[in-house]
Structure 1
């Protein structure tokens, strides 16, 4: 099987949250869509494509019920794929809040209300000012191992200090 990841809602800005308990989530919250497709036809598996693994009549939507998929969000530089995990002190993480999302089975309002799988990050904050991208990595728990499936990057967004922050979007 092959995985398609698409950022459906790009992060645009955030107010830096510092090291205290205060949380300032990225706005708007990043939302990533997952599609599992047949690598030969680029379509979801179906009985018409019986030659792929896991192909039973319900497989096209069975991944939506899979509790073993999760996505991890990490901070990356805007100009390359270098991940940023720690502040200069080497002890404090660059991000705070929920950096992991389970797969949500939701209706896709942009695609005839069809069932779809999404990862949502409503509580993800950044501790330092600057321009960043998110690296969003899909994993699957298989037995007692965790397998990396695919990663995608968001568009660059800016994290502002409290004085410079323009405010949350509508």
Structure 2
């Protein structure tokens, strides 16, 4: 008999876009605004808010808009579309949009993309227990677009939610302007070189 899920993921902040980050570049053009996932209990109790142990993390991978598969699965570091494996631990933040109640949020503020194109985030909640791990059904973000350097339209001021997370210790990076001197034509294409 299947065990009903205890938690539900809700995307509180959708990614919109990013400038491409050339490989070996010192400039990191992060996805903006950083996606934020809230973890809620399916059955609401007096314990709602900041979750207690066991440990909770949310993992993210990058997919194509029409696929559920990790686009970087099996690729080496020099060929990946995204900057790194992406895992977020929790932040307990008072939600100014919901009477100041404490919410459990997971933020992904340092993701930069190496290849121009359209992508989605795929999020999976992992509940770590003393003897095993429980994985949730994944959810997907809206499609976001990675643009060539010199496309300033995606640059935005930090959102209210990003600023709140920053005050609670999350390292929220502000999108940078392009670094044209570091641009290489090969960074706009497929990582396989085709």
TM-score bin (small chain): 0.7 to 0.9
CA contact (8 A) 2:40 2:48 kept: no
For 1:67 and 1:15, locate their aligned partners in 2 and report how far apart those are by CA, in whole Å: 37
2:44 paired with 1:91:
no
For 1:66 and 1:102, locate their aligned partners in 2 and report how far apart those are by CA, in whole Å: 12
User: If each structure's helix is expressed as a fraction of its own residues, which one has the higher value?
Assistant: 2
Indicate the SS of the match to 2:8: strand
Per the alignment, do residues 142 and 67 of structure 1 end up closer, same or farther by CA in structure 2, a change over 3 Å counting?
closer
Partner of 2:21: 17
Aligned residues: 150
Partner of 1:106: 93
Indicate the SS of the match to 2:61: strand
| TM-score after normalising by structure 1 | 0.78
Residue 60 (structure 1) aligned to one of 48, 56, 64: 48
For 1:167 and 1:154, locate their aligned partners in 2 and report how far apart those are by CA, in whole Å: 17
Q: Which deviates further from its counterpart, 93-102 or 8-17?
A: 93-102
Deviation of 1:86 (Å): 5.0
How do residues 156-167 of structure 1 correspond to structure 2 at under 5 angstroms? 156-167=143-154
Indicate the SS of the match to 1:73: strand
Residue 37 (structure 2) aligned to one of 11, 32, 39: 32
For 2:145 and 2:36, locate their aligned partners in 1 and report how far apart those are by CA, in whole Å: 17
CA contact (8 A) 2:60 2:124 kept: yes
| TM-score after normalising by structure 2 | 0.69
Indicate the SS of the match to 1:69: strand
The CA RMSD over aligned residues, in Å, is 2.1
Per the alignment, do residues 9 and 37 of structure 1 end up closer, same or farther by CA in structure 2, a change over 3 Å counting?
same
Partner of 1:169: 156
Partner of 1:5: 9
CA contact (8 A) 2:20 2:148 kept: yes
CA contact (8 A) 2:55 2:129 kept: yes
Indicate the SS of the match to 2:112: strand
Return 5+ residue gaps in structure 1 as ranges. Answer: 39-43, 47-58
Indicate the SS of the match to 1:125: coil
Per the alignment, do residues 109 and 65 of structure 1 end up closer, same or farther by CA in structure 2, a change over 3 Å counting?
same
Deviation of 1:21 (Å): 4.7
Indicate the SS of the match to 2:105: strand
